Every structure is written in structure tokens, then in C-alpha cells.
């Protein structure tokens, strides 16, 4: 165990401004028993390092590495699209694995990621995000029916048309014609905590801009307003009823989302990625692919209180 006065090394990374504090548990275990408390302390933007949460990279018995994450409020999260891209880049560049594409174990199951080596500081990571689950039980949600599709929910005294899907973690998407129609900081938490969602839900407001293009703003469960949400972008992209792939424009930048039905896992340009996903059981009849950047910010040391 780490001495009380012994400092813990960390790395700050972000995907489109969705920033997390990362701990390399291959190098040293965190030595902290209360990880939710650590997540709250280190994520504090005034008294801590600052971030949307805490992500630990651990050894895995069945994958190249394991990703364990906590939101800024200390709540455990199953998956994070922007976070897993950063995990993949860190693992590849820092030698945690020699595999590329690689298999990453998460609380939502196995995910497969491929890093395109940096070019002048830029880095692109593609992740097989799994098969979308539309049944309310996958969220979970107290809702009769096979899926929540443009269902009317009362939120702050008015009706919002809500569609839901799980990509390892749950998402509610409201499509709008004009963002002036909504207040993300008030409508977001109201829908997140709607009684129909017993475990709360991530909330996104999206606008279809044209064929294959949408704009989205997010309120994330346990973190609030964020610059980007990778799994949320995937959710909005597949619910938008537009051409694939979809360019999802977020406050922090752009992600590319594709929803494919792999025919023998051989479609370029992601042939090896999909073949690996098939070998490890992470490939079903249809899967969502997400591509976007992953960036290092800085490194430091933290003295847990």
C-alpha cells in the first residue's frame, strides 16, 4: 500500500475536450481503497486535477488491458467512448500492449480499438462499440414496449420526444430543430433523473443538419455538461435516421460514427479491426464503429488525502 504522503502519478488526457484523469495500474496500483472518493477529489476542477472523471488502466486476464472508470461524482460507469480512445492511445504508445488493434475489457464487455499512429501530434482511434440494444430492459427503463422511440416524456412541465438505446451504457436522445428549444443544464438533469430510469441516464440533444451530419449537446450522467460524449454520439448517430456514416459535431469537435453489418468482417478500411472483434466475440450481426482523436494534456503527481 502507498504511504499516506506518497504521491500517485497520473496522466491527463482528453477526447474532444471530454477529459479524464488516467492511472496506469501496470506501473503502480493506486493504493487507494475508496476509488469513488478519489474520483470525486481528483476530478474537482477547483481543488483537484480537474476532469469529467477517473479512468484506471489495469492488467486483464482475457484482454490486452482492462479499463475501469468512475464519473466525476464517484459513480461507476460501464463505458466511455472518448475515454476508451485515450486508453487505446496510451496503451499503444506507452507499451502496455504490442497489439494494434487491441482488445480492451470494460464493464460493458470487450471492445476492440485500433490506433492510427500520430502524425504531427494528431492521433485517430477507431473503436468497435458493440451492437446497440434498444429494449428498455437494457437501459434499464420502466417502459412497456420493445423500444423507446420518440416517446413523449414530461420534463419540466412540457413534453419531450425521447428515443433511447444502450451501447454498454444508457442514452436518451431528444432531436430538436433549434437548440433554443432546450436548456441543457436544466432539461438534462431533469430527464437524467426521470422516474422511468431507475439508474439514471445520459441525455443528449441533437439536430439533424443534413444527410450524414448532426450536431449534438450532452448532459452526462454523473458528470453534467461535457464537451463531447463518444457513446452518446454513437447513440444519436444511429437514431438520427440519416445516411451512414454520420459526422457528429460536438462542442469539442467531430466524431465519425458508422453502423455496419460486417459481411465476414472484411470491409475496408477496418478489416483487421473487425476480424479481431469477430475472434474475441465482440462482433454480432451489426456493430457501431466510432472514430475520433485522443490527446495527451499533461502528467503529474497527486497526493491522496
Q: Could you list the active site residues?
A: 80, 229
C-alpha triplet 30, 294, 68: angle, nearest 5°: 30
Measured distance between the N- and C-terminal CA atoms of the chain, rounded to whole angstroms: 14
d(C-alpha 110, C-alpha 99), whole Å: 15
Pairing of strands 18-24, 53-58: parallel
| 145, 137 Cβ separation under 8 angstroms | no
User: What is the secondary structure of 66-92 as a DSSP string?
Assistant: EEEEEETTS-EES--HHHHHHHHHHHH
| 90, 100 Cβ separation under 8 angstroms | no
d(C-alpha 273, C-alpha 83), whole Å: 18
Helix, coil or strand: residue 14 = strand
C-alpha triplet 129, 124, 130: angle, nearest 5°: 5
Per-residue cell: 223: 458528470
Report, in angstroms and rounded to the nearest whole number, the Rg of the chain calculated over CA atoms: 19
Task: Enumerate residues 6+ apart whose C-beta is below 8 A from 226.
Answer: 17, 18, 52, 218, 219, 220, 252
Half-sphere exposure of 50 (CA within 13 A, CB side): 9
User: Which phi and psi angles does 172 have, rounded to 5°?
Assistant: -115, 130
d(C-alpha 248, C-alpha 234), whole Å: 8
Amino acid at each position: 500500500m502507498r504511504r499516506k504522503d506518497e504521491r500517485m502519478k497520473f496522466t491527463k488526457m482528453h477526447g474532444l475536450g471530454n477529459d479524464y484523469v488516467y492511472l496506469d495500474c501496470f506501473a503502480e496500483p493506486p493504493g487507494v481503497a475508496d476509488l469513488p472518493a478519489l474520483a470525486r477529489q481528483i476530478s474537482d476542477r477547483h481543488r483537484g486535477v480537474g476532469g469529467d472523471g477517473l479512468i484506471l488502466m489495469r492488467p486483464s486476464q482475457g484482454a490486452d488491458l482492462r479499463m475501469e472508470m468512475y464519473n466525476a461524482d464517484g459513480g461507476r460507469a460501464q463505458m466511455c467512448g472518448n475515454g476508451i480512445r485515450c486508453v487505446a492511445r496510451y496503451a499503444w504508445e506507452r507499451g502496455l500492449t504490442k497489439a494494434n488493434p487491441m482488445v480492451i475489457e470494460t464493464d460493458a464487455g470487450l471492445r476492440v480499438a485500433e490506433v492510427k499512429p500520430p502524425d504531427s501530434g494528431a492521433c485517430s482511434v477507431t473503436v468497435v462499440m458493440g451492437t446497440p440494444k434498444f429494449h428498455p430492459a437494457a437501459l434499464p427503463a420502466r417502459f412497456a414496449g420493445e423500444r423507446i422511440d420518440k416517446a413523449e416524456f414530461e420534463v419540466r412541465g412540457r413534453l419531450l420526444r425521447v428515443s433511447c438505446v444502450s451501447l454498454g451504457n444508457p442514452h436518451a436522445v431528444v432531436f430538436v430543430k433549434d437548440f433554443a428549444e432546450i436548456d441543457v443544464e436544466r432539461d438534462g438533469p431533469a430527464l437524467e433523473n426521470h422516474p422511468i430510469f431507475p439508474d439514471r441516464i445520459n441525455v443528449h440533444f441533437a439536430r439533424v443538419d443534413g444527410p450524414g451530419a448532426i450536431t449534438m449537446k450532452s448532459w452526462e450522467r454523473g458528470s453534467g455538461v461535457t464537451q463531447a460524449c463518444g457513446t452518446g454520439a454513437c447513440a444519436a448517430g444511429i437514431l438520427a435516421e440519416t445516411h451512414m456514416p454520420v459526422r457528429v459535431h460536438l462542442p469539442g469537435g467531430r466524431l465519425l460514427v458508422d453502423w455496419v453489418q460486417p459481411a465476414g468482417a472484411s470491409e475496408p478500411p477496418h478489416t483487421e479491426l473487425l476480424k479481431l472483434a469477430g475472434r474475441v466475440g465482440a462482433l454480432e450481426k451489426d456493430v457501431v464503429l466510432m472514430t475520433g482523436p485522443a490527446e495527451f494534456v499533461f502528467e503529474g503527481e497527486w497526493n491522496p488525502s
